[in-house]
Amino acid sequence: MYDFRIAADDKAELYRQLTQAAEALTAGEPDAIANMANVAALLWEALPDLNWAGFYRNVGGELVLGPFQGRPACIRIPFGKGVCGVAAASLEPQCVADVLAFPGHIACDAASRSELVVPVLHEGVLLGVLDLDSPSPARFDDADVAGCVELVQRLSERFAGVA
Ligand code: SME
């Protein structure tokens, strides 16, 4: 049984603990899907006010649904489409305060109001994206972006399946 106690007053500390727990959870495991599944579960458990947390994988230049927590979601997203597709095409994190105002946003769960999508790269290759959705507008800020960017950078080998 894994029982990580993640609690912090500020987001930087929260993400530090989260990343540490994610590294411990995936240590020595070469299966990328298993690692994404456990990290999605960890994020879901530790981050408040989410309605979706998970991964889309880059499969031949298209985003395909990966391990996640939350409601069933759209399976395939072309690069450049929706928040996830824009993150994949631009290789830049997308922090969207109001998804209803984002052109081309893909509404997998009608409850979503804000979204953070971070590209996952390993050795310059795009493996996919990490996607967090919230039912609250403007749920994500610069500290969430920095925390998630750091987390996926530190874990990239585990998501590439070479750890
Ligand atoms: N809203 C995303 C699609 C994925 S779901 O949120 C899980 C988008 O616009 O790319």
13 C-alpha to center of ligand 1: Å? 27
Indicate whether residue 144 lines ligand 1 (CB < 6 A). no
Q: How does residue 1 score in pLDDT terms, banded at 50, 70 and 90?
A: low
Decide: 52 in ligand 1 pocket, CB within 6 A. Answer: yes
Taking Cα atoms as reference points, which of 85, 6, 98, 8 lies closest to residue 43? 6
pLDDT on residue 33: 97
Cα 125 to ligand 1 centre (Å)? 21
Is the model's pLDDT at 113 over the cut of 70? yes
**Structure token digits, residue 127:** 């493996």
Ligand 1 mean position to 68 CA, how many Å?
12
36 Cβ closer than 6 Å to some ligand 1 atom: no
Class of domain 11-159: alpha beta
* Alpha-helical segments (H) within 10-161: 11-26, 32-46, 82-90, 142-160
More confident residue, 69 or 163: 69
Asked if pLDDT for residue 152 goes beyond 70, the answer is yes
**Token pair for 81:** 């489409």
- 53 versus 1: the higher-pLDDT residue is 53
Contacts for 127 with CB less than 8 Å, ≥ 6 apart: 32, 57, 58, 120, 121, 156, 159, 160
And the tokens for 136?
């609250």
Q: Is the CB of 112 under 6 A from ligand 1?
A: yes
| CA distances in angstroms from 103 to 1, 38, 80, 83, 163, listed in the order given | 43, 31, 11, 9, 38
> Which atom of ligand 1 sits closest to the CA of residue 102?
9
Q: Is 66 exposed, middle or buried (0-12, 13-18, 19+ CB in 10 A)?
A: buried
Model pLDDT, residue 9 = 80
Measure CA of the first residue to CA of the last residue in the chain; give whole Å.
Answer: 21
Contact 94, 116 (CB under 8 A): yes
Q: What is the pLDDT of residue 108?
A: 87
pLDDT band at 3 (very low <50, low <70, confident <90, very high): confident
Dihedral in degrees, nearest 10, Cα atoms 101, 142, 136, 5: 150
pLDDT, averaged across the chain? 95
Report whether pLDDT(121) > 90.
Answer: yes
